[in-house]
Amino acid sequence: MAQNRLRRLFLLATLALVVAGCSVIGIPDSPLNSLDPQGPFSRRIDALFWPVFWVATAIFVLVEGAVVIAAIVFRDRPGRPEPRQIHGNNKLEILWTVIPALILASVAVPTVRGVIELTSCGVDAYPVEIIGHQWWFEYRYPEEGIDTATVLVIPAGREVCATMTSEDVLHNYWIPQLNGKRYLVPGQETLLRLQADEPGEYRGQCAEFCGLSHSLMRAEVRAVTEEEFTAWIAAQKEPAAEPAAGTPEAAGRDVFLNRCTQCHTIDPVNVVVEEAFNGPNLTHFMDRGWIAGGYLPYSRENLARWLSNPPDTKPGSYMPDLALTQVEIDALTAYLETLR
């Protein structure tokens, strides 16, 4: 018996040491940390979470404590008399029905208020549209006629109201530091409010299982100052620069014209028909800083890796292996780098 208890103590101590050790090491927070709110909506959720968390923790300590105490204090030992056969107690039953009901009611009230506040956009919110594709997010700015992908640029300190839908399967837009998540449903429109306090980059992820490359379907919200936002809008409306004849960039544009135009638009080089299969609009490709649906940060190596065999990087990718030669990849890279 004593040996048994020692063993248990030893186990508990090991576990405590491991936990303590890890918190000392100080693992960095994930960029998707939902406990690090950076805008009013995520802060609203955070403020709902913590009180409930602490109430739950208190109940946890009480219940587990009572079980452990009971197992120690009332443990069968030689000479312990038989217990009285207590069948129940109606007062206690009422007590532990009513008290939890009251605690839960006090949780329910702010919940209801939170839901009502967070499910409809403010009247002055800046409108954007988010469209899900396997496996990347498309963004449209209906007031400006802008069509871009992966990185959503928003003005910091202003509410953005995203109207969302999907072209294919269910997706789920989630920028943990700015708000909770919401599905993108084919044939329906859903709403998501986004707002960042400060300029910055906020990572996101498709949270609803959407097929082979679900885990690689990532997103980013880049919040900028109002001036930067105005400038960005103006820049986005500019067509792509025309490369001078005979340059590597012009060769790259020819590769693009030959191989990529069935899916990708570069204004004014070509426009993909709406009904056809759509890839991300590449007119301002270099503005994003991310490729492959936000999975890889932009670098020449990553771009070469992506172009040489997309499904190898993103399983199931609709962008097929086009068997591009190194020369074609270099030319394309040179051209794409002009698309700022």
Partner 1 sequence: MTTTTARTTTIFRRPRSETGFWSWITTVDHKKIGIMYGYTAFIFFVIGGVEALLLRIHLASAESTFLTAADYNGLFTTHAVTMIFLVVMPMSAAFMNYLLPLMIGARDVAFPRLNALSYWVFLFGGIFLYSGLIFSSVVPPLGVTPGVTGNLDPSDARSFFGLPDGGWFMYQPNAGPAFSPGRALDFAVLGLQILGIASLLSSVNFIVTFFNLRAKGMRLLRVPVFIWMTLVVAFLLLFSLPIIAIALFMVIFDRQFGTLFFDATAGGDPILWQHLFWLFGHPEVYILILPAMGIVSEIIPVFSRKPLFGYAAVVFAGAGIAFLGFGVWAHHMFASGISTVAQVGFGLTTVAIAIPTGVKIFNWMATLWLGRIRLATPMLFALGFLTMFTIGGLSGVTHAVVPSDWQQHDTYYIVAHFHYVLFGGSILGIFGGLYYWFPKFSGRMLDERLGKIHFWLWMLGFNMTFAPMHWLGLQGMIRRTWRYDPSLEFWNRIVSVGAFIIALGLLVFMWNFYRSKRRGPLAGMDPWDARTLEWSIPNPTPVFNFAEVPVVHGLDEFWHQKYGEDKDGRPVRKDDADSTLTRLQEIGTNPPNPVHLPSPSYFPILMAAGLPLIAYGIIFHLSLFGKALIVVGALLSLAALIGWGSEPLEEAHMEPAHA
> Taking CB under 8 A as the criterion, which residues in 313-332 touch partner 1?
315-316, 318
- The residue whose two tokens read 């090491």 is 25
Q: How many CA atoms lie within 13 A of 285 on its CB side?
A: 24
Q: Does 305 bind partner 1 (CB under 8 A)?
A: no
CB of 99 to partner 1, least distance (A): 9
Q: Does 150 bind partner 1 (CB under 8 A)?
A: no
Question: Which positions from 114 through 143 interact with partner 1, judged by CB under 8 A?
Answer: 114-116, 118-120, 134
Could you give the CA distance from residue 153 to residue 228 in angstroms, rounded to a whole number? Answer: 10
Residues 6+ apart with CB under 8 A from 11: none
* Cβ closest to partner 1, residue 188 vs residue 258: 188
Nearest to 340 by CA among 207, 235, 185, 197: 235
Q: Which stretch binds partner 1 (CB under 8 A): 184-192, 228-236, 246-254, 266-274?
A: 184-192
Question: Which positions from 36 through 95 interact with partner 1, judged by CB under 8 A?
Answer: 42, 44-45, 48-49, 52-53, 56-57, 59-60, 63-64, 66-67, 70-71, 74-76, 80-89, 92-93
Sequential DSSP letters for 129-198: EEEEETTEEEEEETTTTEEEESEEEEETTS-EEEEEEESSS-EEEE-TTT---EEE-BTS-EEEEE--SS
Q: Which stretch binds partner 1 (CB under 8 A): 121-129, 182-190, 238-246, 330-338?
A: 182-190
- CA 40 centroid distance within chain: 17
CB of 15 to partner 1, least distance (A): 7
CB of 248 to partner 1, least distance (A): 32
Provide the pairing of β-strand 200-206 with 218-224.
antiparallel
Q: Which stretch binds partner 1 (CB under 8 A): 137-145, 168-176, 300-308, 327-335?
A: 168-176
Among the listed residues 277, 326, 327, 340, the single contact to partner 1 using CB under 8 A: 277
CB of 83 to partner 1, least distance (A): 5
CB of 26 to partner 1, least distance (A): 11
At 320, is the secondary structure helix, strand, or coil?
coil
Instruction: Determine whether 123 is exposed, middle or buried from the number of CB atoms within 10 Å of its CB (0-12, 13-18, 19+).
Output: exposed
CB of 115 to partner 1, least distance (A): 5
Phi, psi of 314 (to 5 degrees): -120, 100
CB of 204 to partner 1, least distance (A): 9
* Cβ closest to partner 1, residue 75 vs residue 145: 75
Q: Does 24 bind partner 1 (CB under 8 A)?
A: no
Q: Which stretch binds partner 1 (CB under 8 A): 199-207, 229-237, 257-265, 281-289?
A: 199-207
Could you give the CA distance from residue 34 to residue 52 in angstroms, rounded to a whole number? Answer: 16
Cis, peptide link before residue 50, omega less than 30° from 0: no
CB of 318 to partner 1, least distance (A): 7
Among the listed residues 13, 100, 238, 262, the single contact to partner 1 using CB under 8 A: 100
* Cβ closest to partner 1, residue 157 vs residue 315: 315
Could you give the CA distance from residue 239 to residue 236 in angstroms, rounded to a whole number? Answer: 8
Q: Does 263 bind partner 1 (CB under 8 A)?
A: no
Provide the pairing of β-strand 160-166 with 126-133.
parallel
Length of the chain as a residue count: 340
Asked whether 313 and 213 are in contact (CB, 8 A), the reply is: no
* Cβ closest to partner 1, residue 179 vs residue 265: 179
Could you give the CA distance from residue 150 to residue 91 in angstroms, rounded to a whole number? Answer: 59
Element (H, E) at 269: none
CB of 46 to partner 1, least distance (A): 8
